Structure 1
């Protein structure tokens, strides 16, 4: 009788190793937390982007994994000539599968030409090396202010398009 019971128990067990691994980790909590983040994205041996943040939460335990930067980031994007363009935000999310960074809250982009872009949310696509948003944008360039609701640009900011824009306003720097 003991042998029959043991054989029945043995064959009724499933391979629940993955379920056992998830014990204590809920879907809504990060699997890990890191501090002092310093990541570099390279392509063919060339650094394309550099991300720095005080804190990161890793949600790789999700069906669509992501990393959250609740205390904001500083993202440096290098153009084809190695010039640095900076993006700052109060909050960011990085989606590893799609290589997309969602930057939110007081987003400020400063190009190597000292042009400044201000918005509430912007995206950076690492694969296409493209910056875009559908949020209101203000661009300050050489004393002129341009505003629009849609922005599309390459990482060099040479193919920048500002759509649904309003007329440029000249800012007098002599005051």
Structure 2
């Protein structure tokens, strides 16, 4: 009787060499409320806090056990955020990642921002820096401002969360100018 044995000396590269990542937990009908204290609190203070953002999603996957902790929202998410006067603006996307260490949210696929005053931004990907309340993208976008009839297309933009301060990189578009008639 003769037996032969083979050894797998093949070095894995590319996709087949990737380590499998499994979430620490999966939450359904996920809701995360981010609050901010109205004033600095002492250890025994019980002052109220203000809601500044609410993140909701049908599924949230927790990868906080990895070296770069994060949460993913593979079925999309919505972020409602509130300004100092408690006016609500909304961000929606098909997919999202919240990075815990940097407090940055990466939104991908049909990203839409609607501000409390009707302004609207549409793009394929953008990032929301929660600490600095700053949003930015390098992708193509469409920005609509119904107050002045502006429709702007472009590529690359960064702005404050309520769309009040915009810095567009490459733009083109249509702006309506109202003229007053002389009688």
Same fold (TM over 0.5): yes
Residue equivalent to 1:138 = 142
Cα separation, 2, equivalents of 1:127 and 1:29: 28
Cα separation, 2, equivalents of 1:81 and 1:126: 18
Residue 102, structure 1, aligned to residue 95, structure 2: no
Unaligned runs of 5+ in 2: 1-18, 38-48, 177-183
With normalisation by structure 2, the TM-score equals: 0.75
- Alignment equivalent of 1:33, drawn from 3, 21, 26: 26
Cα separation, 2, equivalents of 1:33 and 1:154: 32
Q: CA deviation at 1:167?
A: 3.2
Cα separation, 2, equivalents of 1:82 and 1:147: 29
Cα separation, 2, equivalents of 1:80 and 1:129: 12
Residue equivalent to 1:163 = 169
Cα separation, 2, equivalents of 1:133 and 1:77: 19
- Alignment equivalent of 1:79, drawn from 78, 83, 88: 83
Cα separation, 2, equivalents of 1:131 and 1:76: 14
1:70-108 residue CA offsets vs partner (Å, 9 max, x unmatched): 000011111222111101100000001110100100001
Cα separation, 2, equivalents of 1:79 and 1:155: 9
Q: CA deviation at 1:163?
A: 2.0
Q: CA deviation at 1:58?
A: 0.6
Cα separation, 2, equivalents of 1:160 and 1:84: 19
Count of paired positions: 145
Unaligned runs of 5+ in 1: 1-25, 171-175
Cα separation, 2, equivalents of 1:60 and 1:75: 20
Residue equivalent to 1:3 = none
Cα separation, 2, equivalents of 1:36 and 1:93: 16
Residue equivalent to 2:57 = 53
Cα separation, 2, equivalents of 1:121 and 1:36: 23
Question: 3-state SS of the aligned residue for 2:131?
Answer: coil
Question: 3-state SS of the aligned residue for 1:167?
Answer: strand
